[in-house]
Amino acid sequence: MKYFTLSALMLLSVCAFSQSTLQGEIKNELNIPLAGATIYLQELQKGTTTNFDGLYTLKDIPEGTWTVTVRMLGYQTSKAKMEFTNNNLETYSTTLKEDYGNLDEVVISASRNPEYLSEIPASITVVNSAKLKEFTKLTSNINEILAYTVPGLAVSTGTSSNWGQTLRGRSLLVMVDGIPQSTPLRNGLLGIKSINPNDINRVEVIKGATSIFGNGGNGGFINYITKSPTTIEKISGTTEIWGTSQLSNSENALGYGVYQSFTGQLNKFNYYVSGSIEQTGNKYDAEGVPLLPTYGLDNTNIYSTYAKLEYLLSENQKLTINGNLYKSLQDSPFIPVFAEVQVFNEDGDYALQPGFGIEGSIPEEQPTGSQLINGRLKYNLNSIFSGTTDFETDLYYSKAKSIFFYSDKFENGGQSVINSEKYGLRPNFNTRINLFNGTDISFIYGLDLLRDKTNQGLIDGRLWVPNIELMSVAPYLQTTLKLDKKWAFKAGIRYDDLKMDIANYNTLPYSPKGDGNFNPSVSVEGGELAFDNLAFNLGLRYIEHDEFIPYISYSQGFSIADLGSILRSARAESIDNIQLEPAVTNNYEFGFISKFNNLRLEAVGYYSTSNLGTGVVFSDEVNSFIPSEQPQKIFGGELAVDYAFPNNKLILGASYSYVEGLKNPKDDKNNLSYVGGDVISAPKLTAYVTWSPTEKISTSLRVLNLGDRKRFDPFQDAEGNFAFRHTEFPVNGYTIVNLSATYQIKSNIDVSLGINNLLNEYYLPARSQWAAPLRSFSVVGEGANARLGVTYNF
């Protein structure tokens, strides 16, 4: 027995001394270290991850020949056979290539943590850097870019405002790196256009009600993920210069733009900085008539700056500071002539004379537009709690100022401005547990803290919407369970506790219809409003086969109706007498992704209900905007298909989006009527073809077709005249064709030409039609216009 024990001890000693160590460095093709890459020995089921420097060390590897596998979200997997001998130090370093497959885009916004698109049980559209680069050859208007690339998002309004550009018939939340840009306390609906697309790495659009980010995302949210530094050189960058012009009428129609970026590495600092200036000229419709300047894009100066600085504190700690400024101000030489609408009979026959611009000025009117500032300090601490957990927290600040056009709807006229200032703190943990072979579970949990101060006044000092101060506390938990590499199950919960302090104020005399019928001023005693909401989400996706990856999900969202619009038209003398409740949305959907060689197909159907409308409606009875109290049922579907020919020289694609909505009085579920155009978009069809006949030439042709939506009948007003109600006006469809071409002069220099509305189509954007009863929103679509640009990379 003594000899047996001695032999066993000697054997164990030999085994201990025969353990080897593997170390190395993982980078991408730009020489950037990849933090969080997984190094795994499949036969031993043993692994580790890289630190922020892309370095790793894996100890206690027994003697033998093992397969070293390196994985990273968004990159192609690397594998190598390595032989390990007694007590050796082995090195394995590799460069991972990006995975450009459409099926497995990497998405962060869906759960605040990187995941593969194919493993998330939700409908998501990712507009990657390649698509953004292609579209910026045509326009710098991100509203237009998203209208062409995101199924389920309504068409662009043709103006700086995104009122009516809903997502699946619901309100949406806009963010830059998770920083909210929307102002739900007084929604000016200008948030989509809040950053230069040249500074965006990708856009992630999560569709359907969501409990991930809270108030305002009943239809989903748009998150702009900004660019990060590259470290291949101490300094590199991009210079872009472009000019624009109208083709239907060239009088004072020239515009220009300049964009410059620098990126690189200085010791432990990685940096990215950029700036741009753009100026537009006059804009005309297809017949050469100046466009209505209200919310216009003509004669606009756009300034933007962006910066991101990263500092590696240690191998598992990183500090990031980033921020951007975006300023877009219009100073037009035109004044508006508003639309005229006449309805002839009960059949709804009508004549619509759209608005236009004439030369002139309004005394003391200031330039209109938006000014946005975002700042964020982010701290990452990886591989804590025995390597199972990553921690990150960010402290952010956002300030927005939106200046609107002069309006005679105020007594003695006036020009309003929305001011919003936000502070937020978001500690977030991500814990991963490997239960057994092929099964793992992750938990994402944290807290959202938000302070939002908003008001709306007139430039002359009169206060229209009182000072509102929101304090929001929202703990959340999201979990993902992956079973046997076949199933991905996701569940989450979020609790929002919101308290709003409202100062004492007096309402302003205001005439919503601009007919001189001013509502009287009311003295309102302020106070506190409180809301809370508990939201859930559940989803299941089957992920074994690329040919069919189906999912089913249920999610909830909530929002407070545009509180500012309600307060500014209050008739009660105390906040305590204003009855408000949040709109809670329940969303059910089923969809799938399929990929066959070079063909990708995605389809989804959805149905959502809400206890209230997710906005405000105009009441003719009280001559004011009031909360939409009618429950809504919204349903629809989306289909997208893309096909790349084997040589990738020719790529084709199309998408179709359909949505419809019904409402009913609370006390009569069977009395159904259609929801207005400000919520429900007409059917949208997009198609594209990109062709690269040579390595130096690439072209793209894109088509957007909007269908008809004629759901409403006119009514007779008090004078017996026929009229359509607010936002309930027929929409006639139209088709727009855009063309772009790029020629590569050298490997780092290219020249591009883009033509929007190639066929010079005369059309009225959807909002110009369904908002016609308001007269001030019926702008004609822009006629044919061109953009010529040169890009230099160094």
Residue range 135-182, pLDDT digits in tens = 999 999 999 999 999 999 999 999 999 999 999 999 888 999 989 888
| Cα–Cα nearest to 481, from 423, 549, 432, 429 | 432
- Residue 766, helix vs strand vs coil: helix
Residue 257's Cβ-side half-sphere holds a number of Cα atoms within 13 Å equal to 30
3-state secondary structure of 585: strand
Residue among 761, 759, 742, 760 at smallest CA distance from 751: 742
User: DSSP class of residue 13?
Assistant: H
C-alpha span between 681 and 154 (Å, rounded): 6
Please say if the pLDDT value at position 3 is more than 50.
no
**Mean pLDDT, range 121-138, rounded to an integer:** 92
Is 402's pLDDT higher than 90?
A: yes
In order, the DSSP letters of 229-294 are ---SSSSEEEEEEEEEEESS--TT--EEEEEEEEEEEETTEEEEEEEEEEE----B-TTSPBPP-T
Handedness of CA 10, 11, 14, 20 (dihedral sign): negative
pLDDT band, residue 16 (cuts 50/70/90): very low
Residue 191, phi-psi category: left (phi > 0), alpha (psi -120 to 50), beta (remainder):
alpha
**For the segment 731-769, what is each residue's pLDDT rounded down to a tens digit?**
999 999 999 999 999 999 999 999 999 999 999 999 999
Classify residue 663 by burial, with Cβ atoms within 10 Å: 0-12, 13-18, 19+.
Answer: buried
For the beta carbon of residue 596, count every other beta carbon within 10 angstroms. Answer: 11
Q: What does the pLDDT look like over 286-308, one tens digit per residue? A: 999 999 999 999 999 999 999 99
Share the mean pLDDT of the chain.
89
Has residue 622 got a pLDDT over 70? Answer: no
Measuring CA to CA, how many Å separate 138 from each of 173, 409, 711?
26, 37, 34
Contacts for 668 with CB less than 8 Å, ≥ 6 apart:
none
Classify burial at 105, counting beta carbons within 10 Å of its beta carbon; exposed 0-12, middle 13-18, buried 19 or more.
buried
How many CA atoms are closer than 13 Å to the CA of 601, on its beta-carbon side?
A: 12
**272 pLDDT above the threshold of 80:** yes
CA-based angle 62:68:72, to the nearest 5? Answer: 135
Confidence band, pLDDT 50/70/90 cuts, at residue 660:
very high
Question: Phi and psi at residue 152, in whole multiples of 5°?
Answer: 95, -15
What integer pLDDT is reported at residue 492 of this predicted model? 92
Alpha carbons 399 and 419: distance in angstroms, whole number: 8
Model confidence at 281: pLDDT above 50: yes
Per-residue pLDDT tens over the stretch 201-221: 999 999 987 767 777 778 889
The CA angle 328-332-337, to the nearest 5 degrees, is 125
Q: Does the global pTM surpass 0.85?
A: yes
